[in-house]
Structure 1
Amino acid sequence: MNKDYLLKWAKAAGVRAVKTMAQTAVAAIGTTMAMSEVNWIFVGSTAAVAGILSILTSVAGLPELAE
């Protein structure tokens, strides 16, 4: 694996992770609002775990980097 590929992978995986975290945060906010008050610690921790899982899933491969 060369440095150029690693940088492309890191950028693509990072973009996916940020998108996943944002989607998860929106879902968590919607869920907690239904319970009357947003629990920001819950939202943040849920989004962080989703981001970590996204990065780990990206180790298996990213279709946008298929050569």
Structure 2
Amino acid sequence: MKAALKQARPWLLAAGRRAARTFAQTFAAAMMTASGITDAPWRPALSAAALAAVLSLITALVGLPELNNPPG
């Protein structure tokens, strides 16, 4: 089990970083639709950002260019 986790660690880190960046970018873009902080659509922005992060992780299953090899 430890060997499998050690082998998967680079992929997990790269996929996690990519998902975090995707979340932040989507959240920032969604928040820009408001004119002020009190008018900000917090729930829809968080929901859209979370969905984008999940989709990023699913896309990462195909492979990450940062690693130059597919997962597994």
If the length of structure 1 is used for normalisation, what is the TM-score? 0.85
Following superposition, the deviation at residue 9 of structure 1 comes to 0.4
1:40 is displaced (CA, Å) by 0.6
Map of 1:18 onto structure 2: 20
Aligned equivalents of 2:63 and 2:18: distance in 1?
12
Say whether 1:60 aligns with 2:62. Answer: yes
Larger radius of gyration: 2
Identity of aligned residues (%): 41
**TM score, norm. by length of structure 2:** 0.80
The size of the alignment, in residue pairs, is 65
CA RMSD of aligned residues (A): 1.9
Q: Please list every run of at least 4 consecutive aligned residues from structure 1 whose deviation after the TM superposition is greater than 4 angstroms.
A: none
Specify which structure has the bigger relative contact order, considering alpha-carbon pairs within 8 angstroms and separated by 6 or more residues: 1
Unaligned runs of 5+ in 2: none
Where does the alignment leave 5 or more consecutive residues of structure 1 unmatched? none
